[in-house]
Chain A
Amino acid sequence: GAVVSQHPSWVICKSGTSVKIECRSLDFQATTMFWYRQFPKQSLMLMATSNEGSKATYEQGVEKDKFLINHASLTLSTLTVTSAHPEDSSFYICSAPPVQAGGQGNEQFFGPGTRLTVL
């Protein structure tokens, strides 16, 4: 159980275009999902918290108008990189903690990641 999928697994796009990445929890519901970015040989940096039915919460320094997040259902969150540029090239990973009583300190499960290359 606790499987998270991402689509696409990799994408190459031209500078100035927008790219949408989907994150799905396959066998559990998640009121909250998280989006991370990882540059080569670095750690994962939290970008934003995706909240089902409400606005996303962005970490300091992350442009909310550039990285649009929509959490349309209890099993789907999407990240749209708008007007992508080469510096947005990175590995994007989502995670989700299964909904359970209390809601704090839940184990998180990660998707396989999406590798974005902007030419």
Chain B
Amino acid sequence: GIQVEQSPPDLILQEGANSTLRCNFSDSVNNLQWFHQNPWGQLINLFYIPSGTKQNGRLSATTVATERYSLLYISSSQTTDSGVYFCAVGYSSASKIIFGSGTRLSIRP
């Protein structure tokens, strides 16, 4: 099956810093989503981005499907950005998506 790798596994930054999270996948995909899991476990949809670039406030994402990777950019980090960020990909006729291992982001005040 498809492999999904995220890097870095852990990231500690000062408030105000910028960060880039990466998601590599081993096969063609028809779905790619980025999520933020809050401390209570809820997954928050950040981007649905099987290809191209999107921006939402301080966050933006780019997926280069032909090279099998996606990037999530967080600018001017805030302490509330802390948590685990997951990318998940779908690759078959079924709608299921497979998760990467996540990046744990800690923003220090």
Q: Which residues of A contact B (CB under 8 A)?
A: 32, 34, 36, 38, 42-46, 49, 91, 93, 95, 97, 103-110, 112-113, 115
Given contacts A107-B33, A113-B42, contact A46 B94 (CB under 8 A): no
With contacts defined as CB atoms under 8 Å apart, how many contacts are there between chain A and chain B in the complex?
61
**CA–CA, A97 to B33, complex, Å?**
12
Flag if A104 contacts B41 (CB, 8 Å): no
**CA–CA, A95 to B102, complex, Å?**
18
> Which residues of the other chain, A, contact B30 by a CB distance below 8 angstroms?
104-105
Flag if A109 contacts B96 (CB, 8 Å): no
Flag if A107 contacts B98 (CB, 8 Å): no
Q: Is B86 an interface residue (CB 8 A)?
A: yes
Flag if B31 contacts A107 (CB, 8 Å): yes
**CA–CA, A104 to B42, complex, Å?**
24
What number of B residues sit within 8 Å (CB to CB) of A? 24
Residue of A nearest to B50 (CB): A105
Q: Is B83 an interface residue (CB 8 A)?
A: no
Flag if A103 contacts B95 (CB, 8 Å): yes
Flag if A49 contacts B48 (CB, 8 Å): no
Q: Report 15 cross-chain contacts, Cβ distance below 8 Å, ordered by A residue.
A: A32-B95, A43-B86, A45-B99, A49-B94, A91-B41, A97-B95, A104-B30, A104-B90, A105-B31, A105-B95, A106-B95, A107-B48, A109-B45, A110-B43, A112-B42
Candidates B40, B86, B93; contact of A44 at CB < 8 Å: B86
Candidates B40, B48, B97; contact of A112 at CB < 8 Å: B40
**CA–CA, A45 to B1, complex, Å?**
13
Flag if B94 contacts A112 (CB, 8 Å): no
Flag if A104 contacts B95 (CB, 8 Å): yes
> Which residues of the other chain, B, contact A107 by a CB distance below 8 angstroms?
31, 33, 45, 48
Residue of B nearest to A44 (CB): B99
Candidates B42, B43, B90, B100; contact of A105 at CB < 8 Å: B90
